[in-house]
């Protein structure tokens, strides 16, 4: 490990490791301004995790916003197209309102986006990189995988649109089978369609083992195409020795106006929320006037600080007490010598009794 990295917090070290990993795969760094024009985010508000956007007026009178998202800006500025892929990674802070109290917070994210001709390899590459990121954080991670094509295809078969379809999507996200049945019954959805939606919401388990249950739900061209992609990804992950720790879970869903393919989340023990999330979002690319597809993910670095923060057994390695006649230069030399050996040192006039230390040293007039 480089000397400068020894001084970094664990989550900061992970950011450096992620940067090296992404660059190994040909991703270039994307850096953006802290803010964009408010209208840009307002036009794509449904893509954002929160509708609350922190705004201010620029010196020229334009309404600006502190960035609540990085992906939108990357797609807007990407040179990716159907002819050539643009691989981009980032390490940025975004500004969002907490759902629980609506207070704004600064959130550190690191992630990547693959924009251009998205084929099976591109999706596989992104999934493998997401797994590598989770491994760097904690080896006992779990990844949950879904497919918006399958979810959207089954919802289409109900014949419901607008708010009614969004209610069904919300029930799937919450795995609320009771609510699913109630909505279907009240809206005149066929019993068969309702049962298949409930079965989809209930699917959870190892990727390969749950695929037969997915296949049994497919009736339309759209759902069959989604199943075929899931099946091929399962084969590829298994061939790469990377099928472990991946489960199918169709509660992992996003807005159908933007996401159209694979979606996924990564979890580690000790943090209730996902530390990584991503998916394929061709529809957003098209909405912003680009040609091609896109798939990517974000790692929520701010959550990792909580994961690695543990109370230290000691406040310092050495408590160095110096008397009133001690030479300040001698005290400084002693501290320098101890810290050079890698120890943490705190020099004080007296021991107040509330300091936890491994060993105690004392100095009077000269050296200790």
The pLDDT of 66-86, averaged and rounded, is 89
State what percent of residues in the chain have pLDDT above 90: 54
Evaluate if residue 150 carries a pLDDT over 90: yes
Say if residues 245 and 141 touch (Cβ distance below 8 Å).
yes
Pairing verdict, β 357-363 and 316-322: parallel
Mapped onto helix, strand or coil, the DSSP state of residue 318 is: strand
246-261 tens-digit pLDDT: 999 999 988 787 889 9
**Contacts of residue 40, Cβ cutoff 8 Å, sequence gap at least 6:** 65, 72, 76
State what percent of residues in the chain have pLDDT above 70: 92
The backbone region for 205, taken as left when phi is positive above 0, alpha when psi lies in -120 to 50, beta otherwise, is left
Q: What's the pLDDT at 294?
A: 96
Q: Which residues pair with 299 in a beta bridge?
A: 110, 276
Mapped onto helix, strand or coil, the DSSP state of residue 34 is: coil
Phi/psi at 181 (5° precision): -65, -40
> 58 pLDDT band (50/70/90 cuts)?
confident
Tally of CB atoms within 10 A around 40: 15
Highest mean pLDDT among 54-58, 209-213, 361-365: 209-213
Q: What's the pLDDT at 3?
A: 43
Please choose, from the candidates 89, 205, 223, the residue with its C-alpha nearest in 3D space to the C-alpha of residue 143: 205
- Between CA 27 and CA 21 the distance in angstroms is 9
22-51 tens-digit pLDDT: 999 999 999 877 778 888 888 887 777 666
Q: What is the CATH number of domain 142-266?
A: 3.30.930.10
Tokens of 153: 């295809």
Sequential DSSP letters for 297-354: EEEEHHHHHHHH----S-SEEEEEEE-TT--HHHHHHHHHHHHHTT--EEEESS--S-
Kindly give the interhelix angle for 207-215 and 221-239, rounded to the nearest 10 degrees: 160
- The model's pTM is 0.79
- Between CA 15 and CA 1 the distance in angstroms is 14
The pLDDT of 347-356, averaged and rounded, is 87
Tokens of 362: 């004392």
Q: Report the run of H or E that residue 206 belongs to, with start and end.
A: strand 204-206
- Between CA 94 and CA 153 the distance in angstroms is 33
Say if residues 85 and 291 touch (Cβ distance below 8 Å).
no
- Lowest pLDDT segment from 33-42, 65-74, 152-161, 326-335: 33-42
285-327 tens-digit pLDDT: 998 988 899 999 999 988 887 666 544 567 888 999 998 888 9
Q: What's the pLDDT at 306?
A: 63
- Between CA 129 and CA 20 the distance in angstroms is 12
- Between CA 38 and CA 29 the distance in angstroms is 24
Please give the sequence-ordered ranges of beta strands (E in DSSP) within 219-341, or none if there are none.
246-249, 262-267, 276-280, 293-300, 316-322
Mean pLDDT of the chain: 87
> 346 pLDDT band (50/70/90 cuts)?
very high
- Between CA 251 and CA 10 the distance in angstroms is 31
The beta-carbon contacts of 58-62 under 8 Å, at least 24 apart in sequence, are 62/37, 62/38
Kindly give the interhelix angle for 162-173 and 148-156, rounded to the nearest 10 degrees: 130
């Amino acid at each position: 490990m480089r000397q400068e990295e020894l001084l970094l917090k664990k989550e900061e070290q992970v950011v450096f490791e992620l940067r090296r990993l992404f660059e190994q795969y040909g991703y270039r760094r994307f850096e953006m301004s802290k803010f964009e024009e408010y209208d840009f985010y307002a036009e794509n508000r449904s893509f954002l995790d929160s509708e609350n956007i922190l705004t201010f007026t620029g010196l020229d009178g334009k309404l600006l916003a502190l960035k609540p998202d990085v992906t939108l800006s990357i797609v807007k500025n990407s040179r990716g197209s159907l002819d050539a892929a643009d691989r981009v990674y980032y390490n940025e802070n975004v500004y969002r309102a907490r759902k629980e109290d609506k207070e704004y917070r600064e959130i550190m994210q690191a992630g990547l986006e693959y924009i251009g001709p998205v084929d099976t390899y591109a999706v596989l590459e992104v999934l493998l990189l997401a797994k590598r990121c989770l491994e760097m954080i904690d080896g006992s991670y779990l990844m949950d995988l879904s497919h918006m094509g399958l979810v959207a295809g089954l919802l289409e078969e109900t014949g419901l649109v607008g708010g009614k379809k969004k209610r069904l999507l919300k029930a799937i996200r919450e795995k609320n089978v009771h609510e699913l049945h109630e909505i279907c019954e009240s809206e005149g959805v066929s019993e068969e369609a309702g049962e298949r939606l409930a079965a989809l919401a209930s699917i959870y388990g190892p990727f390969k083992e749950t695929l037969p249950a997915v296949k049994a739900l497919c009736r339309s061209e759209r759902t069959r195409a989604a199943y075929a992609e899931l099946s091929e990804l399962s084969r590829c992950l298994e061939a790469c020795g990377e099928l472990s720790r991946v489960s199918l879970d169709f509660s992992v869903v996003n807005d159908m106006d933007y996401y159209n393919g694979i979606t996924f989340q990564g979890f580690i023990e000790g943090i209730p929320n996902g530390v990584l999330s991503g998916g394929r979002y061709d529809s957003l690319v098209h909405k912003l006037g680009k040609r091609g597809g896109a798939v990517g993910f974000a790692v929520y670095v701010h959550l990792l600080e909580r994961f690695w923060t543990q109370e230290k057994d000691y406040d310092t390695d050495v408590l160095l007490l110096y008397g009133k006649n001690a030479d300040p230069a001698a005290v400084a030399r002693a501290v320098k010598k101890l810290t050079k050996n890698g120890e943490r040192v705190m020099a004080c006039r007296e021991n107040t009794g509330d300091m936890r230390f491994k060993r105690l040293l004392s100095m009077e007039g000269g050296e200790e």
